[in-house]
């Protein structure tokens, strides 16, 4: 698989990574440990060398990733995250220096490694100066426990303040054909500062694959049930975007998911999306997007067509939105 550097850093990753959250968290019951390890190793064999997890996804998530990549640890990039009290998003934020250190040490054990390639603050903590967060990670880098510092869902003010203390290698935020807000302020600032961008939910939490419609029923413990954008009414309204992508996919002899991912990778050379999946055939489908080239004319046609489509529904409930973009 092609490689990309995240911004001006020396961190080189596969052009597409794999988001591990859904293996055990958020999207229903997940899959067994054996199935997860098989999927992760299949991803590596297919060229993916960039894996994303977090303390907040539960101990099992990091443990499965650590076990899966142990035979080839030094050939892959592992990203994980800190920033919630007790590792539980329901308990609020906690980016106190002592907690950052505790999470780092715990994650190292779970991941069966002696260094974390990319250590993100999962959400900006308004109670802790971002300079203190960056300084703590800077110390962990000096100690060899961490190699690169990242932020997730941070706003431009926090990014600038943190970057002044410790170079931010990557920002991870949602970005896709149905959530394009990062284009307004974030992408210009990332380009200015030489920071890479790692879009999560590049397939709109599955919606852009075309496999979800207004009649889809999610598991009771699937967090999409709580997202305004996934209400039955909004799914019906947003189907217009999926239909558009399907039409482009037919012309390119590709799938909607592949077009959505190829579009993202065509935006900037320092963007590396991390679609997640629990299914081997979906993994293979996603990887196929790397070999799809969208021309300038293709991109302009997509731009013109999507500009006429309004997306309905907020991406998060109001309470969750409070921790985003700070």
111-157 pLDDT, tens digit per residue, is: 999 999 999 999 999 999 999 999 999 999 999 999 999 999 999 99
DSSP 205: G
247-263 pLDDT, tens digit per residue, is: 999 999 999 999 999 99
For tokens 């189907």, what's the residue? Answer: 239
Backbone angles phi, psi at 143, to 5 degrees: -80, -5
Asked if residue 44 has pLDDT above 90, the reply is: yes
Known catalytic residue at 115: no
CB distance 63 to 26 below 8 Å = no
158-191 pLDDT, tens digit per residue, is: 999 999 999 999 999 999 999 999 999 999 999 9
Asked if residue 323 has pLDDT above 80, the reply is: no
> For the domain 3-202+266-292, what is the CATH superfamily, name and number?
NADP-dependent oxidoreductase domain (3.20.20.100)
Asked if residue 313 has pLDDT above 70, the reply is: yes
pLDDT band at 223 (very low <50, low <70, confident <90, very high): confident
Q: Is the pTM of this model over 0.85?
A: yes
251: left (phi over 0), alpha (psi -120 to 50) or beta: alpha
- Residues near 314 by beta carbon (within 8 Å), at least 6 away in sequence: 227, 228, 229, 321
pLDDT band at 32 (very low <50, low <70, confident <90, very high): very high
184-199 pLDDT, tens digit per residue, is: 999 999 999 999 999 9
CB distance 64 to 40 below 8 Å = yes
Asked if residue 28 has pLDDT above 90, the reply is: no
263-280 pLDDT, tens digit per residue, is: 999 999 999 999 999 999
Distance CA 118, CA 52 (A): 9
Tokens of 195: 């920071």
Tokens of 9: 């850093």
Asked if residue 288 has pLDDT above 90, the reply is: yes
Tokens of 302: 């997509």
Q: Which of 44, 57, 120, 175 is catalytic?
A: 57
Helices of type H across the chain: 33-45, 59-69, 97-110, 130-142, 156-165, 186-193, 232-251, 256-267, 280-287, 296-306, 318-321
3-state secondary structure of 37: helix
For 231, counting Cβ atoms within 10 Å of its Cβ (0-12 exposed, 13-18 middle, 19+ buried), the class is: middle
């Amino acid at each position: 698989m092609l490689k990309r550097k995240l911004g001006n850093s020396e961190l080189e990753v596969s052009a597409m990574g794999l988001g591990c959250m859904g293996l055990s968290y958020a999207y229903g019951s997940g899959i067994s440990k054996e199935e997860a390890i098989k999927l992760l190793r299949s991803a590596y064999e297919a060229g993916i060398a960039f894996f994303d997890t977090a303390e907040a996804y539960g101990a099992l998530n990091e443990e499965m990733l650590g076990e899966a990549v142990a035979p080839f640890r030094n050939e892959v990039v592992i990203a994980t995250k800190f920033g919630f009290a007790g590792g539980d998003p329901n308990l609020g934020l906690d980016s106190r220096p002592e907690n950052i250190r505790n999470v780092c040490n715990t994650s190292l054990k779970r991941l069966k490694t002696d260094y974390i390639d990319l250590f993100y603050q999962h959400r900006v903590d308004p109670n802790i100066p971002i300079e203190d967060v960056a300084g703590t990670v800077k110390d962990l880098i000096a100690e060899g426990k961490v190699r690169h510092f990242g932020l997730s869902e941070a706003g431009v003010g926090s990014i600038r303040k943190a970057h002044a203390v410790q170079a931010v290698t990557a920002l991870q935020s949602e970005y896709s054909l149905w959530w394009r807000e990062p284009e307004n302020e974030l992408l210009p600032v990332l380009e200015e500062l030489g920071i890479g961008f790692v879009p999560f939910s590049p397939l709109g939490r599955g919606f852009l694959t075309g496999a979800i419609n207004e009649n889809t029923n999610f598991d009771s413990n699937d967090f999409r049930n709580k997202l305004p954008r996934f209400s039955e009414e909004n799914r019906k309204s947003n189907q217009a975007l999926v239909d558009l992508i399907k039409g482009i996919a037919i012309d390119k002899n590709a799938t909607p998911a592949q077009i959505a991912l190829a579009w993202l990778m065509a935006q900037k050379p320092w963007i590396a999306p991390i679609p997640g999946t629990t299914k081997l055939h979906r993994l293979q489908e996603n990887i196929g997007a790397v070999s799809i080239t969208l021309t300038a004319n293709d991109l302009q046609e997509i731009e013109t067509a999507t500009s006429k489509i309004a997306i309905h529904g907020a991406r998060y409930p109001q309470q969750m939105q409070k921790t985003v973009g700070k």
